[in-house]
Amino acid sequence: MISKVKAALANIMGGSGASSSQHSTPVANGSVVPSRHLPERLAVKFPFERPSFLELTPEELQLAADHIHRPVITPPEGRRLLWNAGYAEVINAGKSQNNEDQACCEVVYVERRDDDSRRNSFSSTEDQEEEVSELFFHHWGLFDGHAGPGAAIMASKLLHLQICDQLRDIVDILQKSSVPPPICLSNEVKTQSGPQAEESPTDEDRVLTNEAACRFHQEKQVSHESLVIGAIENAFKQMDQQIEHKRSTYHALGGCCAMAVVYLLGKLYVANAGDSRAIIIRNGKVIPMSREFTPESERQRLQFLAFLQPELLGNEFTHLEFPRRIQYKELGRRMLFRDHSMTGWAYKLIEEDDLKFPLIYGEGKKARVMATIGVTRGLGDHDLKVYNSNIHIKPFLSCLPEVRVYDLAKQDHCPDDVMVLGTDGLWDVTNDKEVADVVANVLSEYGPDHPRRFTMVAHELVLRSRGILKERGWRLANEKLGSGDDISVFVIPLGGPGTYT
Ligand code: MG
């Protein structure tokens, strides 16, 4: 039965998803993937490429890299992505040689970890065969690279395998209807009761020990949902470590924002680390599924870290924020400020330390951490330093995603309900309502039976956000500046017959 499902899904994915499962053993718990465990085809330096599902010929690849005409690229006709999702992308207007966005769309099979202790508990070979369990998840990923495309390429090839590896520990639990209560570990009890625990316990001891265990180790209910969230969070951490250890081998010297959507057992998990965004449009209403992580949105976290470890600022920066740069002649005067504990502003007397450059400076898209980077979560950036200094930025950047959950199975959806994922190139110039309007307009034009209706939506979103090249650069319909960034968009349908296959 499982092999039939695999074959059917491999058909849809052109075999790429199924082949991933053959190599889905990237890491052991708490350790970095050794290169010998990497899939053979990946154990080489990652060359620059566009997502494989675009199936670009060398000529088309060249065309896609044209900074002057910036053609919108979509999968070829007849290529059906997972759930018949739509995808489109366009290269930047010249800010970097390569398109530094990357995308991934895969079905991934999760095999239970091959655990000797579990295997030994089986009574016979037949039991082992009966106990073999498997599940699979659907994965869409967007990765917005900076300082080179390497980290984004690496994450697009491996993050879903890291998620798979984390899920391997909980296959059995997820396939049961409820989570068993945590087991009181006997070692913990022995530690509490001291040397006497070395002796054989009597029945009375056992009762007392169990009571003590319950008193000191209160049981906590752990939901399936929080186990999956934890698996995804840990996968991001492992991915970041993998980039750190392999960044020279794989030419992944920069970093990337990462957004991963996982569909597992009826729920969509949207994990975001960076400034890409996802929204659901249901019955024309917008439901935000992520938030951006920028120096402004994470000001207090960054300031608190600098407050606790001022040495990270290299005696060049102050963790306090002021409405503007302070001049030397203003020493001793009063100025508005705020620190890690404040959301509002208050006055303080200006001291010499306050003359240092602020940890966070600038507003909106121009805000930077230590005058260097405009996003505060993502993967990579292990070598990033403040210009002309030895001050590392990485301690201030978090690889942890925020994971939001959407219970797809509990909602009724119509064929026009979608989730839209986009890198910041989309969201910088197109707001939620405009995206919802484009979705409604294009889907009404291309009816429910049109095979490329969601690709047409993605195409229109990218085209509209890029704009038209005029004398004064790329312009939107309202003559405002179009996005000069790389733009990548997935449009994932949430309703209609046979969607979730
Ligand atoms: Mg971008």
- What does the pLDDT read at residue 451? 93
Number of domains in the chain: 2
Is 339 found in the same domain as 285? no
Within a domain: 118: yes
β-bridge mates for residue 55, sequence order: none
Q: How far is the CA of 277 from the centre of ligand 1 (A)?
A: 11
Q: Is 182 within a domain?
A: no
CA distance 112 to 165: 9
CA of 100 to the centre of ligand 1 (A): 8
Cα 437 to middle of ligand 1, angstroms: 23
pLDDT of res. 216: 57
Residues 24 and 155 in one domain: yes
In a domain, 214, yes or no: no
Rounded distance from Cα 358 to ligand 1 centre (Å): 25
* Spatial contact of 134 and 112, defined as CB atoms under 8 Å apart: yes
Rounded Cα distance between 496 and 127, Å, is 40
Structural domain includes residue 215: no
Report CA(101)–ligand 1 centroid distance (Å).
7
The answer to whether the pTM exceeds 0.85 is no
Kindly give the distance from the C-alpha atom of residue 274 to the centroid of ligand 1, in angstroms, as a whole number.
10
Cα(99) to centroid(ligand 1), Å: 10
Look at residue 445 and tell me if it is in a domain.
Answer: yes
CATH code of residue 421: 3.60.40.10
CA of 426 to the centre of ligand 1 (A): 8
Q: Do 78 and 124 fall within a single domain?
A: yes
Do 143 and 64 share a structural domain?
yes
Predicted pLDDT of residue 495: 86
Q: How many angstroms does the Cα of residue 68 sit away from the middle of ligand 1?
A: 18
For residues 70 and 133, state if they share a domain: yes
Comparing CA positions, the residue from 329, 319, 323, 395 lying closest to residue 353 is 319
Can you give the pLDDT at residue 218? 63
* 365 shares a domain with 258: no
- Whether residues 361 and 232 share a domain: the answer is no
Q: How far is CA 438 from the centre of its chain?
A: 25
**Does one domain contain both 157 and 274?**
yes
438 and 459 in a single domain? The answer is yes
Same domain, 123 and 157: yes
Instruction: Look up residue 151 and give its two tokens.
Output: 């980290």
Question: Which residue range forms the structural domain that includes residue 480?
Answer: 2-177+220-293+399-493
Domain boundary among 341, 374, 407: 374
Inside any domain, residue 45: yes
Residue 176: the pLDDT is 78
Asked whether residue 202 is assigned to any structural domain, the reply reads no
Tell me whether residue 212 is in a domain.
Answer: no
* Ligand 1: centre distance to CA 425 (Å): 5
Co-location of 354 and 409 in the same domain: no
Angle at alpha carbon of residue 106, lines to 101 and 111, rounded to 5°: 135
Per-residue pLDDT of the chain (501 residues), as tens digits, is 334 334 333 333 333 333 333 333 333 333 333 333 444 444 446 889 999 999 999 999 999 999 999 999 999 999 999 999 999 999 999 999 999 999 999 999 999 887 654 444 434 444 444 445 579 999 999 999 999 999 999 999 999 999 999 999 999 899 876 555 454 434 333 333 333 334 455 555 554 455 555 555 567 889 999 999 999 999 999 999 999 999 888 888 899 999 999 999 999 999 999 999 999 999 999 999 999 999 999 999 999 999 999 999 999 999 999 999 999 999 999 999 999 999 999 999 999 999 999 999 999 889 999 999 999 999 999 999 999 999 999 999 999 999 999 999 898 999 999 999 999 999 999 999 999 999 999 999 999 999 999 999 999 999 999 999 998 899 999 999 999 999 999 999 998 555 666
Q: How far is the CA of 202 from the centre of ligand 1 (A)?
A: 65
Same domain, 330 and 475: no
CA of 84 to the centre of ligand 1 (A): 25
Residues 6+ apart with CB under 8 A from 465: 425, 426, 428, 429, 430, 476, 482, 483, 487
